[in-house]
Structure 1
Amino acid sequence: MDFSNNILETIGNTPLVKLNKIVAEIDALVLAKVETFNPGNSVKDRMAVKMIEDAEADGRLKPGGTIIEGTSGNTGMGLALVAIVKGYKLICVISDKQSKEKMDILRAVGAKVVVCPTDVEPTDARSYYSVSKRLAEETPNSWYVNQYDNMSNSLAHYEQTGPEIWKQTDGKITHFVVGVGTGGTISGVGKYLKEKNPNIKIWGIDTYGSVFKKYHETGIFDENEIYSYITEGIGEDILPKNVDFSLIDGFTKVTDKDAAVYTRKIALEEAIFVGNSAGACIKGLLQLKEHFKPDDVVVVLFHDSGSRYVGKMFNDDWMRERGFLEENVTKAEDVIKDHIDKELIVVRTEELVSHAIERMRKYKISQIPVVDINGFVGSVDETDLFRSYVADKNVAEKPIKEVMGKPFPIVKMGTPIEEVSKLFTKENDAVLVDLGNGNHHIITKYDIIGSIK
């Protein structure tokens, strides 16, 4: 009989799959190391086992103890599998930008999940770094994993992932491309491969809002580069000890939008359902295409499963809200198609200014057309109302007709978006679309900006 003694024994030996359509413009053989075949559906299963086994060996983790870790979700899943098999409790501290699916999955496998804000400094008491450390100090018989600085992370990939890739490519690999977060994968694999062949190039995929690329190129840790970003699993606002910059030949940065778009492309063009960092890797690979020659063998690592992102990158509404959905916006109605069925909010000339203000608050809008029995006769804007209020504190009780501006321009359905855009000026912040049958809808600057690709 051929069976494993427990689920942990199924970790590793993931397949290497040739990519075709999505890398058609790259003149080299491109192979994907698909880590979703691990039982926890990510590359992090490998280092989760290694970190726990090493902690057990040197006494940092004792029987019946509590494992505590700050994670983007995948490391938490790997730790959860080991914790279940070995009888440990697990607390995962996660940032609020991570997908709901990741949080739900962690709870499903028995982890306690603590959610922290993303938009704070690493040293802030609310950050997931700080909360993880605090919980480790407060929890009896606990061990703080710290995957960023725990060198068992990169060692796992030096001992496992690197040798697998070398063997699967029969030593013919010329380039390794991978997203960089904790740095364990790129450093462990990179070290092994360069020991086998120093000419192998190691490329890291970074994201905007992260410090890796500039630090690698200049040695400068530039805090001005740090800002919130959407892409999960890669990039950092710290320098983890696991990132060995001496092993990395270069970085390329990928935008949030490109990462999301290419995540979907991988599924549609290669039938491989993988996560956000895989999309970033493919776009980064295309950005690096001039580095590859026809005889090269390029291996790109796909970190995790697309199932973690069903409510995000694989959700049209989520993509559309962020302007990531590649839709053809050419006419006036295309810009407002997501809310074209909503009623146009108006205010009448004889109504009070306070009524317009109340409507703006209720519907969270900034511009309102003004009407009388003859049709559109004016408009009010939150900026103009604010100025009027500063000049006259009693303006709220005055009729709209005393403070309204010029009516918004009206265009017909089918008007090219270029023509609509020209109607926006310093004096005019909206345009009305005539939908027919006496119905109209409003296009704002926000709608125009949201349609920009």
Structure 2
Amino acid sequence: MWYNNILETIGNTPLVKLNTITKGIPATVLAKIETTNPGNSIKDRMAVKMIEDAEQSGKLKPGGTIIEGTSGNTGMGLAMAAIIKGYKCIFTTTDKQSKEKVDALRAFGAEVIVCPTNVEPEDPRSYYSVSSRLEREVPNSWKPNQYDNLSNSQAHYEQTGPEIWEQTEGKITHLVVGVGTGGTISGTGKYLKEKNPDIKIWGIDTYGSVFKKYKETGIFDKDEIYPYITEGIGEDFLPANVNFDVVDLFEKVTDKDAALMTRDIARKEGIFVGNSAGAAVAGLIQLKEKLKPEDVVVIIFHDHGSRYMGKMYNEDWLRERGFLQDEKLTAKSILAKKESTEIVTLDAQKSVLEAINTIKSMNISQIPVTQQGMIVGKIAESDILSALLENPGLKSAPIAEIMTATFPFVDLNTSIDKISSLINKENSAVLVEAESGKIEIITQYDIINAISG
């Protein structure tokens, strides 16, 4: 048996029991692994449905251009379908999204325009506004508008809901979904509640998003809105696809808990998933008191971990945000094991000869160069040698004339791996601002000393 094209492989994704991260949850927890879709996310389902419905209604015409605001996954599904069906794609996205998502869209031949995150949806620079403007300006174009296009929810009503019902033999008691456009939870939840009205539909939200408060109070509170890191869930407006009557409750999860749980899913279950899956599991754990041993929970794992390599799966990224506190050595712990010594510097106006004398007397090979107390560069033995071989008269010149770029600066949370990668032929050290505010230097010797000590 074979498929006629890649779009025919969308759907029928596996349901896998979670065994380790769900210890302590008094229920059977099953993950719907949407990463097995050809575009590695659940968004393949609704992307094709929106295109097919637009073709039937005449909104999308042959040779047309699809223009959409996307965090990456919907764009991937649209781009894949566009290749098979002969359309062009232009996507707008936010600078919050991972580089891997943007690169993946470009790999499929789409044009991607990156817009600022921290602006109102109505702001002309927002990715919503830019995509709407392009739709008006580009001839023969169509904007799916995944947020308000009800083909999004319908795809899950027709596909995801029935699949889950059949795979659990109708035993599902709870559905847990991270909510962004609202299509997955609303379409799947509507189908399941028609089959059994007692099934609970739980939406996972993030701090900085409006869903939870709106569900509980009916108030759209702009004070709830602020920037957040978690990708794929939460919104600062109310998409038409979010059916608040279908969703029984919303649970908010912090950026930190979502990021760390994303990593735990990979490390403890061997399932490589994205940020929204981490948020969904973290939210389920927060709600575990509401579950009983006989319950069967289905949780949606929306997309693939490969789109988050520079973020949730990058330890330095996690440390920079204070999300990761582990045993691995950092700049702070290396400094703690190092004898505190006064860093030797030279003013940029000192002569090359003075630099030579300092290097000799201190028995060092590179010295940071300062200007008005600020480190602006460095001078090394090799720099001096090269300069004097070319022009012996430079001995009396200021070292500013031959200095090179300063040592890299790192912060106290930077890991030993990152520091080691920055120390090379060009840089024999890195600089770090200690808690006292004093600039300290870390050399390869200091790293070796910290490891062996």
| Shared fold, TM over 0.5 | yes
> Counterpart of 2:51?
52
Aligned-residue offset at 1:358: 3.9
Counterpart mapping for 1:279-298 below 5 A? 279-298=278-297
Shift of 1:158: 0.3
Name 1:165's counterpart in structure 2.
164
- Which residue of structure 2 aligns with residue 143 of structure 1? 142
Letter in 1 for 2:436: A
Aligned counterpart, 1:189: 188
Whether the 8 Å CA contact 1:329–1:335 is kept in 2: the answer is no
Contact 2:334 2:446 in 1 (8 A): no
Distance 1:92 1:117, change over 3 A: same
Task: Tell me the SS of whatever aligns to 1:67.
Answer: strand
Query: Structure 1 residues 274, 342: closer, same or farther in 2, change over 3 A?
Result: farther
Q: What 5-or-longer segments of structure 1 have no aligned partner?
A: 364-427, 442-453
8 Å contact 1:432–1:440 — kept in the other structure? Answer: no
1:326 Cα shift? Answer: 3.2
Task: Provide closer, same or farther for how the CA distance between residues 160 and 335 of structure 1 changes in structure 2, counting only shifts above 3 A.
Answer: farther
Letter in 2 for 1:65: G
Counterpart CA distance in 1 for 2:319 and 2:68 is 33
- What is the alpha-carbon root mean square deviation over aligned residues? 3.1
C-alpha displacement of 1:360: 4.4
2:419 is aligned to: none
TM-score relative to the length of structure 2: 0.76
State the distance in 1 between where 2:108 and 2:340 align.
42
Match of 1:416 in 2: none
> What's the counterpart of residue 400 of structure 2?
none
CA drift at 1:129: 0.4
What is the alpha-carbon distance in structure 1 between the residues aligned to residue 87 and residue 340 of structure 2? 52
User: Identity across aligned pairs (percent)?
Assistant: 68
> Are residue 262 (structure 1) and residue 261 (structure 2) matched?
yes
Deviation of 1:17 after TM superposition, in Å, equals: 0.1
Q: Distance in 2 between matches of 1:429 and 1:36?
A: 43
Matched residue, 1:62: 61
Cα 1:94/1:361, change in 2 over 3 Å:
farther
Q: CA deviation at 1:22?
A: 0.3
- What corresponds to 2:384 in structure 1? none
Partners of 2:343 and 2:439 within 8 A in 1 = no
Partner of 1:430: 436
Is the Cα–Cα contact under 8 Å of residues 338 and 446 in structure 2 kept in the other structure? no
Mapped contact 2:335–2:442 kept (Cα < 8 A): no
Q: What is the alpha-carbon distance in structure 2 between the residues aligned to residue 24 and residue 341 of structure 1?
A: 45
Alpha-carbon distance between aligned partners in 2 of 1:158 and 1:326, rounded to the nearest angstrom: 42
Q: Hey, what's the Cα distance between the residues in 2 that align with 1:203 and 1:274?
A: 20
1:402 corresponding residue in structure 2: none
Q: 1:281 to 1:69 in 2, by over 3 A?
A: same
Equivalent positions of 1:286-365 (< 5 A) are 286-328=285-327, 333-334=332-333, 358-360=372-374, 362=376
* Letter aligned with residue 306 of structure 1: G
Distance (Å, rounded) in 2 between the aligned partners of 1:345 and 1:43: 54
Q: CA deviation at 1:435?
A: 11
8 A contact 1:434–1:440 mirrored in 2: no
1:109 corresponds in structure 2 to 108
Amino acid at match of 1:430: S
Bigger shift: 317-326 or 182-191?
317-326
Gaps of 5+ in 2: 350-368, 378-433, 448-453
State the match for 2:131 in structure 1.
Answer: 132
Q: What SS does the aligned partner of 1:294 have?
A: coil
Q: How does 1:175-186 map onto structure 2 within 5 Å?
A: 175-186=174-185
Q: TM-score, normalised by structure 1?
A: 0.76
* Runs of 4+ displaced beyond 3 Å: 328-333, 339-348, 355-363, 431-437
Q: Distance in 2 between matches of 1:360 and 1:75?
A: 47
Whole-Å separation in 1 of the counterparts to 2:340 and 2:136: 53
User: Structure 1 residues 225, 60: CA separation in 2 closer, same or farther (over 3 Å shift)?
Assistant: same
- Per-residue CA deviation, residues 126-179 of structure 1 (Å, 9 max, x unaligned), is 000000000000000000110000000000000000000000000000000000
SS at match of 2:193: helix
Q: CA separation in 2, counterparts of 1:331 and 1:97?
A: 26
CA contact (8 A) 1:344 1:440 kept: no
Deviation at 1:322, TM superposition (A): 1.0
Once the two structures are superposed, what CA deviation does each residue of 1:154-210 show, in whole Å capped at 9, x if it has no partner? 000000000000000000000000000000000000100000000000000000110
Any idea what SS the aligned residue of 1:221 has?
A: coil
**Correspondences of 1:360-439 after superposition (within 5 Å):** 360=374, 362=376, 430=436
